[in-house]
């Protein structure tokens, strides 16, 4: 009987879904100026992948994206502010990611 129980547990473990990783999401420009040349990369790597040419303030756009990791950096050129990088953005199990930047230059991300 012990072998049947162990086999059943193994079968359940193998049937359980693996972590889905990052998927498509909606990107919102929460910055008061346009964001240009929006790109994404796995956190800790150097290769940027362009995801959008530009986003007006308040604009929402779908980003088709799939990756087994969860942590990413998002980079954009901000009018009058150069390149801005939001680091360590969690893209797993989120529907919406809002990129924010205060007048003083502080940056943060809101999730939904």
CATH domain 20-111 topology: Immunoglobulin-like (2.60.40)
* Burial (CB count within 10 angstroms: exposed 0-12, middle 13-18, buried 19+), residue 31: buried
The domain spans of the chain are 20-111
CB 48 within 8 A of CB 37: no
Tens digits of per-residue pLDDT, 73-85?
999 998 877 899 9
Which residues touch 108 (CB under 8 Å, ≥6 apart)?
Answer: 86, 100
Q: Is the full-model pTM beyond 0.75? A: yes
CB 55 within 8 A of CB 35: yes
Tens digits of per-residue pLDDT, 32-77?
999 999 999 999 999 999 998 899 999 999 998 889 999 999 999 9
């Amino acid at each position: 009987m012990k072998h049947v129980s162990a086999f059943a547990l193994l079968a359940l473990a193998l049937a359980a879904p693996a972590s889905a990783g990052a998927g498509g999401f909606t990107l919102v420009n929460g910055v008061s100026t346009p964001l240009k040349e929006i790109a994404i990369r796995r956190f800790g790597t150097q290769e940027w992948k362009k995801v959008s040419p530009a986003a007006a303030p308040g604009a929402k756009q779908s980003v088709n994206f799939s990756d087994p990791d969860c942590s990413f950096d998002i980079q954009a050129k901000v009018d009058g502010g150069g390149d801005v990088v939001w680091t360590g953005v969690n893209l797993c199990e989120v529907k919406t990611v809002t990129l924010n930047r205060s007048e003083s230059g502080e940056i943060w991300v809101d999730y939904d």
